[in-house]
């Protein structure tokens, strides 16, 4: 990988794609959607410029950033990133990272920078792509700037209806994590586990929840296993394992690339996965396991994202449900395996079609 802009494109018909790929290496879900963003950018130009923020080398390996990419790191490299946009050959491509976009107070300056980036690329007759994103805590002026920048972009996608409504409408598409690959996994009769992975920052579910999950696992003859997809959740996974009488699988010293591989193998062998982390449930569903958000006071994030791919009613509020209702909910989810598989294949195809549209748009602009 090339560091900074030490080598500029001198070839005839040179083209350049800029893609933002920031994120913490200890969050597999963030790596998942940034990798999906990189896939849309890959081989779209003769030069690839990646802004990776403060990410370490392992983050670049997680995403599969090409060795010949120009990689910019740290906030101090933002002026260089902007200068490279300004001085780029005609018709550059700018691809923003997928994921959640916070538009609360304090993000106005950041959104102003993104707006300026968009203007620069459009003035240079380039292409701006915003993969499926979800908006959080919208306030002005950040919301106003974000909406204007989205309208200036040739392709701007939202992963749920609520986010699209915040910016005044637009195209809704599956979260890019659903493009991580549909896996066959183990045959249903050989799947022997109920996997749990919950956020450590939220309160521990109560006794009624524990009773319901244990009863559901016992009724299906499933082993309960707690896993860690975000490193900060590891203490909670241990706590859940103790309460549920399950097997605790720590992240420990495992590197993030290996951890992702191990997790996907675990989901391949699960019948049911319970989580309040969206990309735990995305990866579980892609492996053929049934996803379920069963936690106290669930947010709309998971419900909305899965509704976009046509998979509804996967969430239940444990705070307002007794053990019998929770167990019934989990039993009903287990009967949806064929529906889950079909919806995952549809989402994967939709995202494949969108990637093809991005590439067609770039080719058309440069023809």
Q: What is the DSSP string of 118-173?
A: HHHHHHTT-EEEEEEEEEES--TTHHHHHHHHHHHSSEEEESSHHHHHHTT--EE-
Q: What is the pLDDT of residues 68-108, one digit of tens each?
A: 999 999 888 999 999 999 999 999 999 999 999 999 989 99
Say if residue 313 is in the same domain as residue 209.
yes
Kindly state the helix (H) or strand (E) to which residue 281 belongs, with its residue range. Answer: helix 278-286
Residue 74: predicted pLDDT: 87
Strands of the sheet containing 223-226, edge to edge, are 247-248, 223-226, 193-197, 270-275, 290-295, 315-317
Say if residue 68 is in the same domain as residue 216.
no
Which residue, chain included where needed, has tokens 């995202």? Answer: 351
Domain boundaries, position 20: 2-180+348-366
CA dist 142 → 138, 260, 300 (Å): 7, 34, 22
Backbone angles phi, psi at 47, to 5 degrees: -120, 140
Say if residue 76 is in the same domain as residue 154.
yes
Q: How many helices and strands, by DSSP H and E, does the chain display?
A: 13, 15
For residue 136, what is the domain's CATH number?
3.40.50
Which residue, chain included where needed, has tokens 């916070």? Answer: 102
Say if residue 47 is in the same domain as residue 67.
yes
- Please tell me the chain's helix, strand, coil percentages from 3-state DSSP, rounded to the nearest 5: 50, 20, 35
Q: What is the pLDDT of residues 149-202, one digit of tens each?
A: 999 999 999 999 999 999 988 899 999 999 999 999 999 999 999 999 999 999
Residue 5: predicted pLDDT: 47
Say if residue 354 is in the same domain as residue 336.
no
Say if residue 254 is in the same domain as residue 339.
yes
**DSSP code, position 320:** G
For residue 231, what is the domain's CATH number?
3.40.50.2000
Say if residue 241 is in the same domain as residue 334.
yes
Average pLDDT along the chain = 95
Residue 45: predicted pLDDT: 96
Tell me the mean pLDDT per 10 residues along the chain, length 367: 54 86 94 97 97 93 96 92 96 96 93 96 97 94 96 96 91 97 96 98 96 97 98 98 98 95 98 98 98 96 97 97 97 97 98 98 95
Say if residue 329 is in the same domain as residue 356.
no
Say if residue 356 is in the same domain as residue 339.
no
CA dist 306 → 98, 107, 261, 310 (Å): 16, 27, 23, 6
Neighbours of 261 (CB within 10 A): 11
* Short-list 335, 297, 331, 291, CA closest to 316: 297
At residue 306's C-alpha, the angle toward residues 284 and 360, to 5°, is 95
Query: How is 42-102 classified by DSSP, letter by letter?
Result: TTSSSEEEEE-TT--HHHHHHHT--TTSEEE-SGGGHHHHHHHHHTSPSS-EEEPPPEEEE
Cβ atoms 209, 294 nearer than 8 A: yes
For residues 69 and 363, give the distance between their C-alpha atoms in angstroms, rounded to a whole number: 21
Cβ atoms 194, 220 nearer than 8 A: yes
Neighbours of 308 (CB within 10 A): 22
Say if residue 341 is in the same domain as residue 352.
no
Say if residue 72 is in the same domain as residue 199.
no
* Short-list 113, 115, 105, 96, CA closest to 158: 96
Residues 6+ apart with CB under 8 A from 220: 194, 271, 272, 334
| Domain count for the chain | 2
Q: Would you call 225 helix, strand, or coil by DSSP?
A: strand
| Token pair in block for residue 11 | 């070839």
Q: Whole-structure pTM over 0.85, yes or no?
A: yes
Residue 169: predicted pLDDT: 83
Residue 6: predicted pLDDT: 43
Residue 1: predicted pLDDT: 61
Say if residue 38 is in the same domain as residue 120.
yes
Backbone angles phi, psi at 146, to 5 degrees: -65, -40
Residues 6+ apart with CB under 8 A from 112: 141, 145
């Amino acid at each position: 990988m090339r560091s900074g802009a030490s080598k500029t494109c001198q070839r005839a018909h040179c083209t350049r794609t800029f893609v933002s790929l920031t994120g913490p290496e200890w969050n597999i879900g963030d790596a998942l959607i940034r990798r999906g963003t990189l896939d849309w950018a890959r081989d779209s130009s003769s030069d690839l410029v990646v802004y990776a923020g403060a990410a370490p080398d392992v983050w670049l390996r997680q995403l599969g950033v090409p060795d010949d990419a120009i990689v910019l790191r740290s906030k101090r490299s933002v002026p260089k990133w902007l200068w490279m946009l300004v001085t780029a050959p005609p018709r550059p491509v700018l691809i923003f990272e997928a994921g959640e976009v916070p538009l609360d107070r304090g993000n106005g300056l950041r959104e102003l920078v993104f707006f300026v980036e968009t203007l620069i690329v459009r003035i240079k007759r380039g292409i701006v792509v915003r993969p499926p994103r979800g908006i959080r805590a919208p306030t002005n002026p950040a919301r106003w700037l974000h909406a204007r920048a989205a309208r200036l972009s040739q392709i701007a996608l939202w992963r749920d209806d609520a986010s699209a409504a915040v910016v005044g409408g637009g195209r809704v598409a599956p979260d890019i994590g659903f493009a991580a690959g549909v896996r066959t996994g183990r045959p249903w009769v050989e799947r022997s586990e109920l996997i749990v992975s919950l956020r450590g920052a939220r309160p521990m579910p109560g006794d009624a929840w524990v009773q319901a999950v244990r009863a559901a696992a016992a009724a299906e003859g499933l082993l309960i296993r707690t896993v860690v997809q975000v490193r900060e959740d590891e203490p909670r996974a241990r706590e859940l394992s103790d309460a549920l009488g399950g097997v605790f699988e720590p992240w420990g010293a495992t590197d993030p690339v290996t951890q992702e591989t191990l997790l996907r193998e675990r989901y391949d062998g699960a019948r049911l996965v319970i989580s309040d982390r969206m990309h735990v449930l995305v990866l579980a569903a892609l492996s053929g396991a049934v996803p379920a958000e069963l936690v106290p006071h669930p947010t709309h994030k998971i419900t909305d994202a899965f509704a976009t791919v046509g998979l509804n009613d996967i969430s239940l509020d444990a705070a307002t449900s007794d053990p019998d209702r929770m167990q019934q909910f989990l039993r009903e989810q287990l009967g949806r395996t064929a529906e889950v598989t079909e919806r995952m294949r549809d989402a994967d195809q939709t995202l494949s079609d969108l990637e093809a549209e991005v590439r067609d748009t770039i080719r058309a602009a440069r023809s």
